[in-house]
Amino acid sequence: MKNVSLWNIFLAFAKIGAFTIGGGYMMVPAIEDEMRRRGWLSDEELPDIVALSQSAPGLLTVNMAIFAGYRMRGISGSIVATVGCILPPFVIILLIAMFFSNFRDNRIINAIFSGVRPAAVAIIAAYMVKLLKRGRHNAASFIISGATLLLVALLKISPIYILTVLIVISAGVGLYRQKSRKGQ
């Protein structure tokens, strides 16, 4: 991989941070597209970075910036990508907080937010479909996804409890499979 300048890493992640409304899963496709377009990360590396970022504690996009920046330039790349990713939204939110009380009841501002919400949901759904097409899936992954959706959305069970149970079950299944292979 070519040596990417820290300034270019900062600018790329600052652009993503500044122009991606909705954060989190809204930024994932933007990060992937930017990294792929610039040739900074391969199509094989990107799903690994997304998976690692989702597994690590903390904000998804910050984790992606950390892992992508590290892959490109080590620790300094991680720091620069993270600062680039969080600085523009921080400034934007700070400005909104300072002036929002003046516009809280403005019908135009409320209409803008009402229009952005469904678009954000659609972008997240499109990315989920993209992930489904890309990954290896079996019946169990669809059952777990559907059951998790129902438990969270309908029964209002905390995702933390669901993830904890799934981690314990997955670890148990993994250990069982590992012992089965050794016994063969």
Summarize the confidence of residues 151-159 as an average pLDDT.
87
Kindly state the percentage of the chain with pLDDT values over 70.
92
Measured over the CA atoms of residue 132, residue 136, residue 139 and residue 140, the dihedral's sign is: negative
| pTM reported for the whole predicted model | 0.60
What is the reported pLDDT for 158? 87
What is the reported pLDDT for 122? 77
Which H or E element spans position 24?
A: none
Give residue 136's pLDDT band: very low, low, confident or very high (50, 70, 90).
low
pLDDT (tens digit, 9 = 90+) per residue, 7-59?
A: 999 999 999 888 877 667 777 888 888 888 998 988 888 888 888 888 888 88
Is 103 a residue whose pLDDT tops 80?
A: no
The full 3-state SS of the chain, as one line of letters, equals CCCCCHHHHHHHHHHHHHHCCCCHHHHHHHHHHHHHHHCCCCCCHHHHHHHHHHHCCCCHHHHHHHHHHHHHHHHHHHHHHHHHHHHHHHHHHHHHHHHHHHHCCCHHHHHHHHHHHHHHHHHHHHHHHHHHHHCCCCHHHHHHHHHHHHHHHCCCCCHHHHHHHHHHHHHHHHHHHHHHHHHC
Q: In the block, which residue shows the tokens 């990954």? A: 135
